[in-house]
Amino acid sequence: MANVLNSGTLDTLKTGQTLLTKVYKTKKEGMVQIEIAEKVSNPNATSALGDGFQTFYSFSNGSTGKPRRFWDPVEAIYLETMLQIPNLDIENGVYTLNPDTGKEEMQLNILNPTAYVNPQTGEAVELRMRGRVIETTEGRQYDIDNERYKINPSTKDPVLHGGNYIYNKNQILFVENTSDDLVLPHVFLASDTVSVTSKVESNETVVEEVDLDMI
């Protein structure tokens, strides 16, 4: 099935589906950063109601959380080659400045984005983009220095695993199985029962994005 611009929305995204929401300009000429969104169920998550209860939204939509975002840099010409969308000009097309982020972005909203050409070899393929969650206590130095660790969105307290901060090393994968039913091998760390708040608290939720200044 061909990639189609504006074929999906975050509001209608279901578990197992992926949305290529947008691309951002970076400081490196010819390079952009893609953003995909995917609803991912955390097997370690527990309901405040206890076992045996499930909200209507969770039962009908398959996930209680908002879609997770995944980011990766890519050459604009390579992305165009992969997507095979007629007249799509990612490198020289129209970008809009987002006043909230200060970044220039181009909206795509492609449901279940799929690569149909290998940009390195020109070979015909059919590989779907999927987001894989990888939680770890070994953060990248940039994330450590900037306190980009996982927090409880309600209390703003750090979420800890074994007394350590939880960081993300998420990936965007290309998979041969294009079915929505495919379950990726995510890595979730079980959180401590009580978060230790003696460490420095962050006022931000964990950020998994590759910082554009680093590209």
Taking only the tens of pLDDT, the chain with its 215 residues reads 899 999 999 999 998 999 999 999 999 999 999 999 999 877 665 544 455 555 554 555 444 468 999 999 999 999 999 999 999 999 999 999 999 989 999 999 999 999 999 999 999 999 999 999 999 999 889 889 998 999 888 888 999 999 999 999 999 999 999 999 998 999 999 988 754 443 433 333 343 444 444 44
pLDDT for 153 equals 81
Nearest to 78 by CA among 210, 174, 208: 174
| Whole-number Å distance between alpha carbons of 180 and 55 | 22
pLDDT for 155 equals 85
pLDDT for 208 equals 43
Q: Which two tokens stand for residue 55?
A: 């909200």
Nearest to 102 by CA among 215, 211, 214: 211
Nearest to 107 by CA among 93, 119, 117: 93
| Whole-number Å distance between alpha carbons of 52 and 50 | 7
3-state helix/strand/coil string of the chain: CCCCCCCCCCCCCCCCCEEEEEEEECCCCCEEEEEEEECCCCCCCCCCCCCCCCCHHHHHHCCCCCCEEEEEEEEHHHHHHHHCCCCCCCCCCCCEEECCCCEEEEEEEEECCEEEECCCCCCEEEEEEEEECEEECCCCHHHHHCCCCCECCCCCCECEECCEECEECCEEEEECCCCCCCCCCCECCCCCCCCCCCCCCCCCCCCCCCCHHHC
| Whole-number Å distance between alpha carbons of 213 and 215 | 6
**Contact call for residues 17 and 112 (beta carbons, < 8 A):** yes
Instruction: Write down the pTM of the prediction.
Output: 0.79
